[in-house]
Amino acid sequence: MSEKIYAAFRSIGAYVPKKVLTNQDLEKMVDTSDEWIVKRTGIKERHIAEDNESTSDMATKASEIAIKRAGLSAKDIDLVVCATVTPDYFNMPSTACLISDKLGIKNVQAFDISAACSGFVYALSVAKAFIESAMKKNVLVIGAEKFSSIIDWNDRNTCVLFGDGAGAAVIGATTNKEEAFIDVHASADGSYWDFLITPAPGSVNPATHAAIEEGLQFVKMKGNETFKLAVKTLTKDVKEILAKNNIEGKDIPHFVPHQANYRIINAVGNALNMSENQVVLTVHKYGNTSAASIPMAINDIYESGKLKSKELMLLDTFGGGLTWASALIPFAPKEND
Ligand code: COA
């Protein structure tokens, strides 16, 4: 009988655009204040891509780093999955195809996942399934967003919250159970479909002059309702994944929550009795980068030397759909085999 194959989190990389948009900059654009934004969200600044910098450009840069850190080259990648709700082109081609082309990856399956802020963890669940079923060996999983491209810069309810960026990870096959993903849980409740929505372009509202004039291409959000559901759902989800795997919150060195709002992160962290040094926080400097938020946060702790081989990460996220997901994954770089 052949040995069981598991998925292992081999490497991480990220790309953050240079341009910084501070709360003080936003004060000049809409009726808001640094004090309000910091108090309600924890965000101080966010990075914004250049006009000529696309989601796939940022994703390619993050992917190059992740592939190199995995000790691989582009030819070793046998599946490319990109989580994004701000693709280079709505409809087609997929951003994953564009990233593959920019990386020089040919004749390899590539597709996008649309699960808003939950996209990266959704993509991890796909990588795990492909690897454990022995269909693929090295999966490039990307979360990348140019959220600034769907923001109405006159809408203070949304424009202060989001930022741009990309993160990527290589998920590889292993027979060593110690390196394996412990669990990934992903879920959705489509009855809340209108809590976070870009109404156009799409089959309901094609890109007509009227749709554009109405601003239907911009993100609309029921912020307060989303906030309350996020706290409730995430707390329940994270408690469930820990209990199911007989792991206690205190045993998690790196709790990496989706970086949407400091108050959501704090409420979930408190419900799990997490101490401050367990909780990874980047929301103050990147804002909400949707599918890129978790891999960018993992990259931050990796580059600052805090994330060590074999250390456990608890990921949790919540986003449009509504979707949510959590995961228990040890960091398993190859050189430590
Ligand atoms: N500056 C100043 N005032 C603002 C503002 C801004 N940028 N944005 C909203 N306000 C105002 C509102 O107009 C409202 O005014 P009113 O009471 O006169 O109507 C007031 O602040 C309170 O708005 P409310 O929406 O109740 O605030 P809140 O405490 O819920 O905070 C969010 C707003 C958006 C920060 C918060 O709801 C949130 O983070 N939601 C979740 C967002 C999220 O995670 N989205 C992505 C899912 S991953």
3-class secondary structure per residue, 91-147 = CCCCHHHHHHHHHCCCCCEEEEECCHHHHHHHHHHHHHHHHHCCCCCEEEEEEEEEH
Predicted confidence (pLDDT) per residue in 49-79, tens digit: 999 999 999 999 999 999 999 999 999 999 9
Confidence of residue 335 (pLDDT cuts 50, 70, 90): low
* pLDDT given for residue 336 in this prediction: 45
Confidence of residue 1 (pLDDT cuts 50, 70, 90): low
Predicted confidence (pLDDT) per residue in 283-292, tens digit: 999 999 999 9
Q: What number of other Cβ atoms are within 10 A of residue 114's Cβ?
A: 15
Cα separation of the two ends of the chain: 23
pTM attached to this predicted model: 0.96
Q: How far is CA 61 from CA 2, 67, 151, 169, 183, in A?
A: 37, 10, 23, 12, 28
- Whether 230 is in the pocket of ligand 1, judged by its Cβ within 6 Å, is yes
**Residue 2 clears pLDDT 90, i.e. is over it:** no
Confidence of residue 337 (pLDDT cuts 50, 70, 90): very low
Q: Which residues pair with 144 in a beta bridge?
A: 166
81 vs 142: CA distance, rounded Å: 6
Nearest-10 Cα torsion for 115, 64, 258, 54:
-60
Cα maximum dimension of the chain: 66
Q: Which residues pair with 4 in a beta bridge?
A: none
Catalytic residues, which ones?
A: 117, 258, 288
Confidence of residue 334 (pLDDT cuts 50, 70, 90): confident
Q: What is the mean pLDDT of residues 79-90?
A: 98
- Whether 137 is in the pocket of ligand 1, judged by its Cβ within 6 Å, is no
Cis before 314 (ω within 30) = no
Q: What is the mean pLDDT of residues 126-140?
A: 98
Ligand 1 pocket check: which of 219, 261, 286 to mutate, most ligand atoms within 8 Å of Cβ?
Answer: 261
Residues present in the chain in total: 337
Distance (angstroms) between ligand 1 centre and the Cα of 136 equals: 43
56 vs 82: CA distance, rounded Å: 9
Q: What is the mean pLDDT of residues 208-215?
A: 96
Per DSSP, the three-state class of 287 is: coil
**Residue 83 clears pLDDT 60, i.e. is over it:** yes
CATH of domain 1-337: 3.40.47.10
Q: Which residues pair with 15 in a beta bridge?
A: 166
